[in-house]
Amino acid sequence: MVSILRNTSLKPYNTFGIDVKASFLTSFSHPDQAMQALSEKDVRGLPRMVLGGGSNVLFTHDYEGLILLNNIGGISITEDRGDTVLVKAGGGVVWHDLVLWTLDQNLQGIENMSLIPGKCGAAPIQNIGAYGVELKDTFHSLDAVELTTGTSVQFGKEECHFGYRDSIFKREAKGRYIITGITLELNRRHELHLSYGSITQELQKMGIAQPGIRDVSNAVCNIRRSKLPDPAVTGNAGSFFKNPEIEAVKYQHLSKEFPSIVAYALDNGNYKLAAGWLIEQCGWKGKRVGETGSHKDQALVLVNYGHATGAEIVALAHEIIASVKNKFRVDIEPEVNII
């Protein structure tokens, strides 16, 4: 028998700390529990949403349906391939706990993504990434259950259609599956990724000349803590906007007009612009609008100072988008899932 709560506040379940209610809420540690909840008479036919850590979602109103909290646990090595191993983690495992586990096992691959909030089940949906590394770089497969039929399915890397902060699960497969577990292929031979952002400078500051994977993880944690507010103190969902990608010709024009523009060359010949820099140049960094605003240390992060509504945060986001478009003729879009 599963327990389903009624008219429950979602404030503890989203890192923005938005105080909206769900008509129904349940948690599950096995897919069968989720399917049992979905079969209950009171929730049949209602909207349903699987929620992990709530770190990439912005609620703008009460949720008139069933929220399913994914608490499927467990981390294990499922296959030893010599130089690489396959590691499986339950969809309800906290992502950073998985990172720490891989460090303890001396396995390289996801240390650059240390301290990314959320749970493993949400990681493929967003194709999470940080400091030059994305989930798809180590992704092997995922296990899922289709919500309408209860059928177990597996997705390989190609079937996930990964893009920049994007996947099939944000588009045609949105809301159709519970991701019960992910499998990554990690390395016993270590090839560190230090070129992106300020990792090298942070390692130098730490006095480390020959870093290992744990040093890289610690450096990333230091950088993130220095730039990003703690959701337990100030509500936020990390980076609110994606870094926009533009063609080389457009970048050349912008770099002449704005010589200090921050950009990264991509393998496809395009350039990725730093959205935080664009937003900061438009005067938003540290600016407060009522109970929301752009964070003082990282313009890319929108925050809830305590009593903001989701609608107020969305309104601020639209203002920021418009100002960036007006100044740079560049479109930026939210990374956060707005409900």
CA distance 286 to 296: 4
Residues with active-site annotation: 165, 239, 335
Nearest by Cα to 181 from 144, 155, 148, 152: 144
316 vs 305, 319, 333, CA distance in Å? 13, 5, 13
Two structure tokens written together for 279: 């937003």
151 vs 143, 148, 240, CA distance in Å? 11, 8, 34
CA distance 65 to 67: 7
Provide φ and ψ at 294, rounded to 5°: -95, 135
Nearest by Cα to 11 from 231, 254, 251, 184: 231
Q: Please name every residue paired with 272 in a beta bridge, in sequence order, or none if there are none.
A: 245, 264
DSSP 98-157: HHHHHHHTT-BSSGGGTT--SBGGGHHHHT-EETTEEGGGTEEEEEEEETTT--EEEEEH
Q: Are strands 57-58 and 337-338 parallel, antiparallel or unpaired?
A: parallel
Nearest by Cα to 270 from 239, 243, 300: 243
Two structure tokens written together for 277: 């820099």
Q: Dihedral sign, CA of 108, 112, 115, 117?
A: negative
Is the separation of the CB atoms in 299 and 332 below 8 Å?
no
Classify residue 278 by its DSSP letter: H
